Amino acid sequence: MTDAAASLIALDWGTTAQRAWLLDGDGGILATRRPELGLLPTTAGLDVRDADARARAYETAFWSACGEWVTAHPELPVLACGMVGSAQGWAEAGYLTAPAELRFGSGALTRVEHRGGAAHLVPGLRTPSQHGRPGDVIRGEETQIVGALEALGSPAEAVTLVLPGTHGKWVRVDGGKVVSFATAMSGELFGLLTTGGILARTAAGARRDDAAFARGLAADRSRGLSTELFGARPLVLDGLLDPASVPDYVSGVLIADEVGHLAPTVGAGPVVLCGTEDLCRRYAAALAAHDIVPTVLTEDVAARGLWRIALSTGLLGSSGRNGS
Amino acid sequence: MTDAAASLIALDWGTTAQRAWLLDGDGGILATRRPELGLLPTTAGLDVRDADARARAYETAFWSACGEWVTAHPELPVLACGMVGSAQGWAEAGYLTAPAELRFGSGALTRVEHRGGAAHLVPGLRTPSQHGRPGDVIRGEETQIVGALEALGSPAEAVTLVLPGTHGKWVRVDGGKVVSFATAMSGELFGLLTTGGILARTAAGARRDDAAFARGLAADRSRGLSTELFGARPLVLDGLLDPASVPDYVSGVLIADEVGHLAPTVGAGPVVLCGTEDLCRRYAAALAAHDIVPTVLTEDVAARGLWRIALSTGLLGSSGRNGS
């Protein structure tokens, strides 16, 4: 049994992982879990076009992550953001269209059933493709943005939020409104390159090596990412890079390329970094090379955002807590 | 039984695939095979530091590819180039160091044993890492270069060879000497992105779509490869790209980024493309955007290069054909 003051089960359910929180009556964190059942492992081997099969897989994954909490507190509402609300998710939860204020009112959430009751999904945020040029989509970071803006005191000034992850987001907010954003899939490239292919084979073991990360960060970018990434291999063959340090070198090359392209697009106002401690450290180092000193927020802003959305949608509120 | 004039078993044995040729007494192609047992599948699950286990795996893969030819012609020498001669290959076959003429004399080859006799491995080509800046390595393309230069009539002028593949090479040759080269791993990134991760999930089936390739090729590159790759997903979500066309779009984005960075580094003189018909078509389209019209050679120049090296090393020659 967890704290009797438990008030909300909140999940940030992304492409590769989940973070789940049990929140108290003020949105404070009572307990945290980090199950590994993101969208990709949850739907592995499924025909994602089969909505019923998908729903069963997500229900099982949800129960594996939060079943104990639901059993202990069957009356609690459940709110989830992230890829769980995508076309390959538990159910398609729709989108807001940017530019947009991130106001989620009653009716904004999409309800799905599980064996212990219901869960509610937060919509994403999109910019439409235009004239054949790709737009962009956000799933989960809209909730981090809600939490981050609250943590920043709802700034009226323009601010850039950098949210690194599997599909990292660079989000421009002005006057409380998301005006534009870009997605960089450096995190996914890192995962693919360090688990499959020649660099994964070149690496032997993996050991944190901040100096190797800094070397990757400083690598010449003029010949392009595809060429610079391969540089890890000759460095190892020439005895100049420890095979165990290949992942950190690759991380440096990827992040330097992302930040090198996107930092010049950042407009006036502060830059705010929000993510895991490790990723924030890496991106802060890359931003420093562009004379940007970011404000750093913890990734728990997602829990704060889920709390805010639970309140604004009426999932929690004066009508009591049986919001499911 | 194949043609009695068979004279050499020649293999280009790369990271992901093999091409094997049975050559006649003039180096003409009698038969071709395309087994899938490249370095990665051959060594999958192995501890690559275990040289004996590796040698057994390569012997088995070789026998699976060429055993019938060896059985039919037990006296034929066997010559192989590519990653088979790398530190993760059958045996480490060493390197020439660029700038270098690609002259392979007696003693240049590394001998390995198989159940039907011996095979010989061609050394690679390297530029050393200097001042912490990565050098580069070639395995297999040195042989393609030998064949391509012969096909071009051993040009005295400067020429740039573009050799697309898993690890594509841009090679500068001047006066018959390789002066520099760069490796772009666009082919490997394509394989990783279209078999794992969110773009592979976004794709449903795969159908050749030249228009989607052209759209990827024309995508704005200013925000960097990691951001532009993700663009395939919003295009699909917005109904503007057929899920089956995602691989061709991704191919266009990757090749445009590689060519966009490396085409400006090409010096004076002709540009020569050499690879599979499909890759040559794609790279020619990307080069055209930079006003470069390449000469296109078939990938069989590797067979020609192996033939030349078999002659120059004495594996074939006046001493007879029992060169093993």
Q: Domain of B192: which CATH number?
A: 3.30.420.310
* Mean pLDDT value of segment A217-244: 93
- Report the distance separating Cα B178 and Cα B97, nearest Å: 9
Per-residue model confidence as pLDDT tens digits over B62-101: 999 999 999 999 999 999 999 999 989 999 999 999 999 9
Find the DSSP H helices in chain A: 39-43, 51-72, 141-151, 186-195, 197-202, 210-217, 225-230, 232-237, 246-262, 277-288, 301-312
Q: Residue B171 falls within a domain, yes or no?
A: no
The answer to whether residues B58 and B138 belong to one domain is yes
B78 contacts B66 by C-beta, under 8 angstroms: yes
Nearest chain A residue to B83 by CA: give it: A198
The answer to whether residues A242 and A216 belong to one domain is yes
DSSP H or E segment with residue B104: none
> What pLDDT score does A4 carry?
52
Q: At residue A3, does pLDDT exceed 60?
A: no
User: Of all residues in chain B, what percent carry a pLDDT higher than 70?
Assistant: 97
Nearest to B15 by CA among B45, B41, B35, B33: B41
The answer to whether residues A285 and A307 belong to one domain is no
Binning pLDDT at 50, 70 and 90, where does residue A197 land? Answer: confident
Residue A118: which CATH number? 3.30.420.300
Do the Cβ atoms of B167 and A201 come within 8 Å? no
The answer to whether residues A72 and A87 belong to one domain is yes
The answer to whether residues B257 and B276 belong to one domain is yes
Is A233 part of the contact surface with chain B (CB cutoff 8 Å)?
Answer: yes
Q: At residue A320, does pLDDT exceed 50?
A: no
Do the Cβ atoms of A184 and B226 come within 8 Å? yes
Q: Residue B179 falls within a domain, yes or no?
A: no
Q: What is the ipTM of this complex?
A: 0.88
Nearest chain B residue to A94 by CA: give it: B237
Q: Residue A172: beta bridge partners?
A: A160, A180
Backbone angles phi, psi at A19, to 5 degrees: -125, 130
Per-residue model confidence as pLDDT tens digits over A97-152: 999 999 999 999 999 999 999 999 999 999 999 888 899 999 999 999 999 999 99
* Mean pLDDT value of segment A45-70: 93
Q: Residue A168 falls within a domain, yes or no?
A: no
The answer to whether residues B150 and B189 belong to one domain is no
Per-residue model confidence as pLDDT tens digits over B140-190: 999 999 999 999 999 999 999 999 999 999 999 999 999 999 999 999 999
Domain count of the fold of chain A: 2
> What pLDDT score does B49 carry?
85
> What pLDDT score does B3 carry?
46
Q: Residue B175 falls within a domain, yes or no?
A: no
Residues 6+ apart with CB under 8 A from A267: A158, A160, A172
Q: Residue B162 falls within a domain, yes or no?
A: no
Q: Residue A146 falls within a domain, yes or no?
A: yes
Is B211 part of the contact surface with chain A (CB cutoff 8 Å)?
Answer: no
Q: Residue A169 falls within a domain, yes or no?
A: no
Do the Cβ atoms of A226 and B192 come within 8 Å? no
Place of tokens 């061709």: B248
Binning pLDDT at 50, 70 and 90, where does residue B4 land? Answer: low
The answer to whether residues B25 and B143 belong to one domain is yes
Pairing of strands B78-81, B117-121: parallel
User: Of all residues in chain A, what percent carry a pLDDT higher than 70?
Assistant: 97
Find the DSSP H helices in B180-238: 186-195, 197-202, 210-218, 225-230, 232-237
> What pLDDT score does A131 carry?
85
The answer to whether residues A50 and A142 belong to one domain is yes
The answer to whether residues B13 and B136 belong to one domain is yes
The answer to whether residues A141 and A191 belong to one domain is no
Residue-range definition of the domain harbouring residue B84? 6-155+301-313
The answer to whether residues A189 and A131 belong to one domain is no
The answer to whether residues A198 and A237 belong to one domain is yes
Binning pLDDT at 50, 70 and 90, where does residue B48 land? Answer: confident
Is B94 part of the contact surface with chain A (CB cutoff 8 Å)?
Answer: no
Q: Residue B142 falls within a domain, yes or no?
A: yes
Do the Cβ atoms of B233 and A137 come within 8 Å? yes
